[in-house]
């Protein structure tokens, strides 16, 4: 199981405009982990703001998303956290601290009150505010989290990320852990974060932890104070998703070479993830010696194979290959990235597999998605392919016979 924070952990908003490290993680995950591992996103974003992220970044669909601040919805694979608390008292008490300035209305939540405070004043304010709040409850039901060197949040005590993990057990038994078989627990858990509000993730017993290369000072400070001698919590040299990949290798949790970093498309048989990396590079004109690759592809696509297009018409698979040839380099120098999500495969015969996946293309027009089913035989020879539109993310042009 991999549990990751999103902003500046899985998603790099600062140094990777083309999202290459996230795309590398996506390809690694869908190739080697998706079939038997759980991907959990834990975010401080609200549901609406989380959904917006999916329009801007190459987001995989996680098995579970932990959204802080509402109630648990078992039907949507979403875990919300809340607790009865009195926001009025928080406001009344924080008002007495001139060092605290309220963050914008957009950053306030029903179960989170957010302020800015100077780094050097934070310790004193937290101590004094804790004492004041303590007086209002017999047992404290709030907590104060300082992150980013400037943000101070007051949250319900049971609303943190660590708490969410402990809830994952019973929830995941209900649906997603079906992947492991009923009642089974993951053999390894890797938690990933970058800022102070991720610290609780690292405090969960027996997890491997990665503080990504760009982790904030306050998180590294937490490690210094709480996990200094714990070899299972590391600070990587790589930033964001590349740091997560680095940690997978460091802890020897499984394969850590992303198919995006293996640029050998010459072998017969391209599995789905690799095929779409090839497809992206083909359209960006980054493939050397294109003619040779077309010959290679002819062997991968069964001569009488069939492609069922978005408009439900059937075409020979080799016609699609002809179409692909025409589109070599048509996205050269433009924003164009391709990734696949939700790859599942089912064995339907001794040598035959059916694979289902969502294919995403990201260009200046935003993300467009299609759901595809591919039947393969004899070592990934493509026999039959069927595409349908992904609701809400449809390609407007349905005439292309493009994969
Ligand atoms: Mg973060």
3-state secondary structure of 345: strand
pLDDT of 288 higher than 80? yes
Span from the CA of 43 to the centroid of ligand 1 (angstroms): 8
Span from the CA of 50 to the centroid of ligand 1 (angstroms): 13
Q: Are residues 119 and 71 in the same domain?
A: no
Angle 290-300/317-326 helices, nearest 10 degrees? 170
Span from the CA of 197 to the centroid of ligand 1 (angstroms): 8
Q: How confident is the model at residue 269 (pLDDT cuts 50, 70, 90)?
A: low
Span from the CA of 98 to the centroid of ligand 1 (angstroms): 27
CA-to-CA distance for 298 and 302, rounded, in angstroms? 8
Residue 363 counted as domain residue: yes
pLDDT of 200 higher than 80? yes
Q: Are residues 293 and 239 in the same domain?
A: no
Q: Are residues 50 and 177 in the same domain?
A: yes
Span from the CA of 109 to the centroid of ligand 1 (angstroms): 17
Span from the CA of 93 to the centroid of ligand 1 (angstroms): 27
Flag the least confident range among 6-15, 83-92, 284-293, 311-320. 83-92
Span from the CA of 149 to the centroid of ligand 1 (angstroms): 13
Q: Are residues 172 and 232 in the same domain?
A: yes
Span from the CA of 78 to the centroid of ligand 1 (angstroms): 19
Q: Are residues 240 and 339 in the same domain?
A: no
Q: Are residues 254 and 327 in the same domain?
A: no
Span from the CA of 215 to the centroid of ligand 1 (angstroms): 8
Span from the CA of 219 to the centroid of ligand 1 (angstroms): 11
Mean of the pLDDT values across residues 20-28?
A: 97
Residue 394 counted as domain residue: no
Q: How confident is the model at residue 294 (pLDDT cuts 50, 70, 90)?
A: confident
Span from the CA of 235 to the centroid of ligand 1 (angstroms): 15
The model's pLDDT over 80-126, given as tens digits with 9 standing for 90+, comes to: 554 456 777 888 889 999 999 999 887 777 667 899 999 999 999 99
Q: Are residues 29 and 110 in the same domain?
A: no
Q: Are residues 292 and 369 in the same domain?
A: yes
Looking at every residue in the chain, the average pLDDT score rounds to 84
Flag the least confident range among 115-119, 154-158, 304-308, 358-362. 154-158
pTM across the whole model: 0.77
Q: Nearest CA to 393 among 377, 365, 370, 364?
A: 370
Span from the CA of 193 to the centroid of ligand 1 (angstroms): 6
Per-residue model confidence (pLDDT) at position 175 = 40
Residue 137 counted as domain residue: yes
DSSP string, 40-64: EEEESS-HHHHHHHHHHS-----SE
Give me the number of domains the chain comprises: 3
DSSP letter at 112 equals: B
Q: Are residues 41 and 110 in the same domain?
A: no
Per-residue model confidence (pLDDT) at position 344 = 86
Per-residue model confidence (pLDDT) at position 227 = 92
> Which residues constitute the domain of residue 299?
264-389
Q: Are residues 54 and 172 in the same domain?
A: yes
Per-residue model confidence (pLDDT) at position 71 = 42
Span from the CA of 76 to the centroid of ligand 1 (angstroms): 23
Cα Rg of the chain (Å, integer) = 24
Span from the CA of 192 to the centroid of ligand 1 (angstroms): 9
Per-residue model confidence (pLDDT) at position 346 = 86
pLDDT of 138 higher than 60? no
CA-to-CA distance for 318 and 28, rounded, in angstroms? 29
Span from the CA of 7 to the centroid of ligand 1 (angstroms): 4
Per-residue model confidence (pLDDT) at position 46 = 77
Span from the CA of 68 to the centroid of ligand 1 (angstroms): 13
Cα four-point dihedral sign 68, 196, 232, 212: positive
Angle 272-283/290-300 helices, nearest 10 degrees? 150
Angle 20-28/240-250 helices, nearest 10 degrees? 40
**Which range, 46-55, 158-167, 174-183, is most confident?**
46-55
CA-to-CA distance for 385 and 10, rounded, in angstroms? 32
Name every residue whose Cβ is closer than 8 Å to that of residue 136 and which is 6 or more positions away in sequence: 86, 89, 93
pLDDT of 29 higher than 90? yes
Residue 58 counted as domain residue: yes
Per-residue model confidence (pLDDT) at position 267 = 58
Residue 135 counted as domain residue: yes
Angle 119-134/87-94 helices, nearest 10 degrees? 130
């Amino acid at each position: 199981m991999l549990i990751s924070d999103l902003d500046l952990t899985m998603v790099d908003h600062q140094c990777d405009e083309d999202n290459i490290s996230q795309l590398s993680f996506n390809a690694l995950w869908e190739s080697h982990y998706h079939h038997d591992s759980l991907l959990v996103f834990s975010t401080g974003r609200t549901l609406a703001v989380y959904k917006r992220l999916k329009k801007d970044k190459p987001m995989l669909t996680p098995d579970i998303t932990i959204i802080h601040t509402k109630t648990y919805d078992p039907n949507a694979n979403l875990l919300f956290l809340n607790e009865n608390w009195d926001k009025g008292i928080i406001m009344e008490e924080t008002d007495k601290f001139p060092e605290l300035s309220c963050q914008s209305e957009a950053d306030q939540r029903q179960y989170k009150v957010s302020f800015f405070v100077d780094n050097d004043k934070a310790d004193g304010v937290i101590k004094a505010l804790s004492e004041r709040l303590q007086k209002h409850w017999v047992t404290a039901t709030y907590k104060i989290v300082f992150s980013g060197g400037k943000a101070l949040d007051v949250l319900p005590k049971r609303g943190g990320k660590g708490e969410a993990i402990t809830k994952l057990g019973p929830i995941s038994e209900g649906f997603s852990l079906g992947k492991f078989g009923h009642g089974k627990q993951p053999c390894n858990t890797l938690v990933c974060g970058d800022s102070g509000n991720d610290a609780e993730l690292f405090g969960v017993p027996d997890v491997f932890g990665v503080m990504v290369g760009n982790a904030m000072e306050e998180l590294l400070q937490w490690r210094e104070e709480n996990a200094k001698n714990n070899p299972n919590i590391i600070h990587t040299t790589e930033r964001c998703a590349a740091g997560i990949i680095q940690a997978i290798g460091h802890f020897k949790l499984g394969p850590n070479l992303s198919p995006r970093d293996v640029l050998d498309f010459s072998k017969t048989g391209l599995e789905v993830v690799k095929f779409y990396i090839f497809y992206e590079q083909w359209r960006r004109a980054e493939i050397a010696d294109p003619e040779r690759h077309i010959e290679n592809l002819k062997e991968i696509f069964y001569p009488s194979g069939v492609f069922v297009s978005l408009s439900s018409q059937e075409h020979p698979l080799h016609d699609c290959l002809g179409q692909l040839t025409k589109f070599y380099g048509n996205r050269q120098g433009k924003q164009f990235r391709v990734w696949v999500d939700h790859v599942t495969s089912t064995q339907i015969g001794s040598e035959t597999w059916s694979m289902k996946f969502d294919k995403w293309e990201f260009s200046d027009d935003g993300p467009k998605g299609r759901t595809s089913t591919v039947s393969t035989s004899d070592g990934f020879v493509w026999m039959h392919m069927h595409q349908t539109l992904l609701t809400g993310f449809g390609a407007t042009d349905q005439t292309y016979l493009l994969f």
